[in-house]
Structure 1
Amino acid sequence: MTLVGLEELRAAQQRIAGVAVRTPLLPCPWAADGERRLWLKPESLQPTGAFKIRGAYNRLAALTAEERARGVVAQSSGNHAQAVAYAAGLLGIKAVIVMPDTSPAVKVENTRGFGAEVVLVPPHERDTLPAELVEKHGYVWVPPYDDRHIIAGQGTVGLEIAEDAPDELDTVLVPVSGGGLISGTAAALKLACPGVRIVGVEPELAADAQASLRAGEHLAWPVADTYRTVADGLRTPSVGKLPFRHLQAYVDDIVTVTEDEIRDTVALLARRGRLVAEPSGAVAPAAWFHRASEVGGRVAAAVVSGGNLDPALLSELLAR
């Protein structure tokens, strides 16, 4: 099981050009603290509101004509769902998306709006039903993270950071769920920008990746535990097998943030950064603001991975 290389990352960058937005690296003078400085990578500006379009389009665009004709199935709490639906629409491919019935309504509605068929199931069935649909209908499964094309597509985030970062950048903060984003981003940065530290960030209530990395073995948390966090995009009970290999090779550490820290950062990014970030998208900057001693570094870039936030929740958090 070889790691994703620079050639695959560059190929993905070319494949998604013109579909995924090349998001800017934004300086945040309002977030400076002494010599510490922060930059934000707002993947919330993507056409589907999150970074997932990068991997989804890279995966679907690489399908053969025969595979496209069969249609695709994917499972997701929302952002991968929207990305697969959007990419499938652009490429004329039938898409069926299995989503937990706890998914935010805005993500379900958007997925349907992009033309996909949505199947809502209890959370514990999200990862098992796709295999049944593949067997029954012959669909091609598009996994959310445990796939080379997905990892390479998400890794274009890292290529862009490497191209745009100031010379003094020493740390990059990336949220962790199934591991596709941090795997690709870490690979890109370690191969293109050696010396930069990669720090993953998880909610304390869904810290399976931190536990796995520190134990040196692949661990899983019960679904009932990970679904406690407000960061619905980070509730995956374990990182994928291929992503875990990338974590071991390229990620320097994983830190966790509390639910209050996540909520506070959503509000802070809206008020001071003028950015709408969903809780999952706020965890990386939350580590910068609340876990400075654990994160370390002087100049950091934090990936704001998505902005598909229920308006009612945003209103609640801004009123805190």
Structure 2
Amino acid sequence: MSMEMGNVTTVHEFTLEGFPAIQHLGKVLFLVHLLAYLASIAGNAVIITITSADPRLHTPMYFFLSIFSFFECCFTSTVIPKLLVILLLGKQTISFPACFIQAFVFVFLRAAGFLLIAVMSLDRYLAICKPLHYPTIMNLKICFLLVTACFALAFPLITGLVVKVSQLPFCGPHVIPHFFCDIGPLIHLSCSDTRSFEMLAFVLALVILLTSLVITIIAYSNIVVTIMRLPSAKEQQKAFSTCSSHLIVLSLMYGSCVFIYVKPKQTNRLDSNREAALVNTVVTPLLNPVIYTLRNKQVHRALRETMHRMKISR
């Protein structure tokens, strides 16, 4: 819906197209996504609760994991509730301000999340490759500073991009071929020349993803070399087990985000973006608690003891 005043078009709302090819399966998809969303929130909430409640998990590794789980709760809550409304009630409209707020929160949390992943990779590098210096380097103050830096670096970059895109003219149609408001589809809807904005979004995505990826690759290359030098096969297996969880999650996140954002031209690729975005917004946050933390023996032990204490208190 829009209101025209002379040559100026004021946009009041957009329409989220969702998944038109399988619209007849709305209620089934609603149930599937609702269960996935609740499981994701519950799993990540368990991680946050356990790492906060058990003093043995008050280490940099679990501090970063709890922050990452908090990111994932906020990230998936930015997109999935609106998708559930679309699937169940068919209410596909979203106001102009709400659309750009959703786009900002979505991209900002993902950008900060990738920077946090780089920090977590450095933490694992220091813990495995520099064990003697690790306790003095990675203290609580440094952990807080690193998390703050992730926010501080992502915020101005994403804010500048979203503000610039929100100032573009939108002459119609106002149908977003996606199930949430994302920067790519919004740029594509503008009736002006958007090549510079597409390139800006591409460069920002490339810088954030490549920075995180390069740091992660360097850290894990050194980790693998250090693990291979361990004298005990049992020690090697334990170290590889911890790292493999991290690498599986990284593959899902980097793969889906590279497919969505790291291409200079968004046109004619929005349909395929929807499937990759589902992996990014539903599958990855759901698998993170299982792959990344809940298979960890220390977390298992802490969870069992917490549940035992709860039974006793009853």
TM range (shorter): under 0.3
Question: Of Structure 1 and Structure 2, which has the larger fraction of its residues in strand?
Answer: 1
TM-score, scaled relative to structure 1: 0.26
Q: Name the larger-Rg structure.
A: 2
Higher relative CO (CA 8 A, sep ≥ 6), structure 1 or 2? Answer: 2
Question: Of Structure 1 and Structure 2, which has the larger fraction of its residues in helix?
Answer: 2
